Amino acid sequence: MNFEIKRLTEENSFAVAEIEKLCFSSPWSEATVASEIKSSLSDFFGAFCGNELAGYIGGRTVADETEIFNVAVSPKFRRNGIAGKLIEKFIETVRKKETRVIFLEVRTGNLPAISLYEKNGFVFCGIRKNYYTNPTENALLMRLAFDGTQEYEDWDDDE
């Protein structure tokens, strides 16, 4: 399958919100998506098959840390390597900003996503208890450090 990865703009907010509805139990609204896309701190990329948005990734960099908010691929486009290419593009972009580390949360039961993040160098660094709803589930906190170290101080959200 051929797809092209491009930076998203506010005009893509509706398509992103539609993918959110297909992929997440608590999807972002179109207004929230638009607000994040237009933020100067955020980077959002989409994978397009022709004119159709097949998937996207978005996150925000503050100082020298980046957080990936969401990675989602429309069900009809899954299993084509789209999520992996989106992650690669995102990592390449934030590295140029001299970010030191990227963080993300993922449902503990989302084994395909966890495997994909690990393939891209992310490692486990914590748990956020009952982070997700619909259904309630813990989140694994994962990180990718660019300084070559993957050690992280042990901490607990309950402290």
Q: What is the pLDDT of residues 85-130, one digit of tens each?
A: 999 999 999 999 889 999 999 999 999 999 999 999 999 999 999 9
| Per-residue pLDDT at 151 | 54
| Per-residue pLDDT at 134 | 85
Catalytic residue among 92, 105, 153, 159: 105
Question: Is the CB of residue 11 less than 8 Å from the CB of residue 92?
Answer: no
- Cross-strand partners of 58: 44, 70
User: Is 105 annotated as catalytic?
Assistant: yes
Residue 73 binned pLDDT confidence (cut-offs 50, 70, 90): very high
- The full set of domains in the chain, from first to last, is 4-145 (3.40.630.30)
Residue 154 has pLDDT above 80, yes or no: no
Report the SS3 class of residue 159: coil
User: Is 20 annotated as catalytic?
Assistant: no
State pTM to two decimals. Answer: 0.89
Residue 25 has pLDDT above 50, yes or no: yes
Tell me the pairing of strands 123-132 and 101-107: unpaired
Question: Is the CB of residue 100 less than 8 Å from the CB of residue 147?
Answer: yes
Catalytic residue among 117, 118, 131, 151: 117
